Amino acid sequence: MSLKSERRGIHVDQSELLCKKGCGYYGNPAWQGFCSKCWREEYHKARQKQIQEDWELAERLQREEEEAFASSQSGPGAQSLTFSKFEEKKTNEKTRKVTTVKKFFSASSRVGSKKEIQEAKAPSPSINRQASIETDRVSKEFIEFLKTFHKTGQEIYKQTKMFLETMHYKRDLSIEEQSECTQDFYQNVAERMQTRGKVPSERVEKIMDQIEKYIMTRLYKYVFCPETTDDEKKDLAIQKRIRALHWVTPQMLCVPVNEEISEVSDMVVKAITDIIEMDSKRVPRDKLACITKCSKHIFNAIKITKNEPASADDFLPTLIYIVLKGNPPRLQSNIQYITRFCNPSRLMAGEDGYYFTNLCCAVAFIEKLDAQSLNLSQEDFDRYMSGQTSPRKQESENWSPDACLGVKQMYKNLDLLSQLNERQERIMSEAKKLEKDLIEWTDGIAKEVQDIVEKYPLEIKPPNQSLAAIDSENVENDKLPPPLQPQVYAG
């Protein structure tokens, strides 16, 4: 079997990671293969189409109501008067609906009415009470950073504060609409700095990183894994899936990493630590940095093992193995959070976008992993998934002479634990059977006793007259012979 056929379920070509619309940026499975820019365009088209269809349906229903109402009037004068009132009511209702729809789908740069702005200028006391130490620290750092930009920094701070106040009144919107508002804000601020402020692109990226850090630290607890989504359900599903795939070995995934090399083993541990640490970060850019560090450790581990630079075909299987071995917490929530609220320029190009796209592909592969992907028969795959046997136990019987003693001992311990687990399960099964037998035996004995009692009922008779004592004076009832008299013999 060739190497290419062995990896048919894992190999991903570089072109497959790009946006399927052909714009040249990296795509994302969470965006149906589009990049951030193309996905927003498609999202706007779909949303506008849905709004148009809703209006057409509403107008058709109103026309039917008008016709039904007009036909129900008896007199022509009353019909004309009533219809004019109905027409006036319909016009007012339509105007109100248009205003509501425009306000609902307005961009984040349009901060709403003057009344909302005046109310937003006075922050809620509950928000101040909920401000954490980290939020205060990030706020101070953001203000100090903007002081170096003078007037431009003041304008950026003003826009950012206005955006946060606006988002406070948009918490009832869906998470997709909040994400759209955030992406619009990123785009508007970047365009204003480039067109009005004439800020160089390098400095724009640095400013956008600080803006993202500031606003997402404050919005994190409201937009990360919200209750209105199924992110938590997806987290539990992928964790359960990874636990069920604990038996997958590096050889099955064609992972070119030799963990018997101490330096490679350290790299693997660092990669697992980085991917787990991603959940502790609040800012999407910091979560991306954890993914990037993890990926670089993977490339170093492959390079040390093969003694040559790693390729993209080696990277993805190893990343899948790291995810399976680490089982990062809230994996799907972190991916969705990055997808929704990260600065799109980072996800569309650069190493961060490339590594993040590979992580999304790795998670998608794990969700759809089957026997064919691992070059196993369906019978073996089912036995491994059910826990009847483990491929690691079979591999431990074929150690090479150069195998590390620690690895051998580890596999021996794993085999011993497996045997103890089987023994414990057998003991528990026999204990449950014994408990069932005891219960059945107790019930049987109780039933037999009850049957005997019913068949032979117990009769209690009065006690007989007590017998006279041996030394009593009752001579009539005394049937005993007279006592022996002592005799004296003369010697």
Residues 322-346 pLDDT 10s: 999 999 999 999 999 999 999 988 8
The reported pLDDT for the residue numbered 444 is 92
Look at 301 and 426; give whichever has higher pLDDT: 301
Model confidence at 98: pLDDT above 70: no
Is the distance from CB of 159 to CB of 191 less than 8 angstroms? no
Look at 223 and 393; give whichever has higher pLDDT: 223
Structure tokens at 32: 């149906």
Is the distance from CB of 392 to CB of 414 less than 8 angstroms? yes
Topology adopted by domain 229-388 = Glutathione S-transferase Yfyf (Class Pi); Chain A, domain 2 (1.20.1050)
- CB count in 10 Å sphere of residue 71: 8
Model confidence at 476: pLDDT above 80: no
List own/partner pairs for 220-227 with CB under 8 A and 24 or more apart. 220/282, 221/130, 222/171, 223/175, 223/178, 223/179, 223/337, 223/340, 223/341, 224/282, 224/333, 224/337, 225/330, 225/333, 225/336, 225/337, 226/175
Topology adopted by domain 133-221 = Serum Albumin; Chain A, Domain 1 (1.10.246)
Is the distance from CB of 205 to CB of 189 less than 8 angstroms? no
Residue 106's pLDDT band (cuts 50, 70, 90): very low
Query: The tokens 């290419």 sit on which residue?
Result: 4
Q: 28 forms bridges with which residues in the sheet?
A: none
The reported pLDDT for the residue numbered 69 is 65
Structure tokens at 119: 């109310």
Model confidence at 34: pLDDT above 80: no
Look at 67 and 99; give whichever has higher pLDDT: 67
The reported pLDDT for the residue numbered 93 is 52
Q: What is the pTM of this model?
A: 0.61
Structure tokens at 345: 């320029």
The mean predicted confidence, pLDDT, of the chain is: 79
Lowest pLDDT segment from 367-381, 391-405, 407-421: 391-405
Query: For residues 147 and 144, what is the distance between their CA atoms, to the nearest angstrom?
Result: 5
Query: For residues 126 and 390, what is the distance between their CA atoms, to the nearest angstrom?
Result: 54
Query: For residues 173 and 205, what is the distance between their CA atoms, to the nearest angstrom?
Result: 29
Q: Tell me yes or no: is domain 27-63 CATH 1.10.150.20.
A: no
The radius of gyration of the chain's CA atoms, rounded to the nearest angstrom, is 40
Query: For residues 379 and 384, what is the distance between their CA atoms, to the nearest angstrom?
Result: 9
Model confidence at 115: pLDDT above 70: no
The reported pLDDT for the residue numbered 295 is 96
What mean pLDDT do residues 351-367 have?
94
Is the distance from CB of 192 to CB of 109 less than 8 angstroms? no
Query: For residues 260 and 406, what is the distance between their CA atoms, to the nearest angstrom?
Result: 9
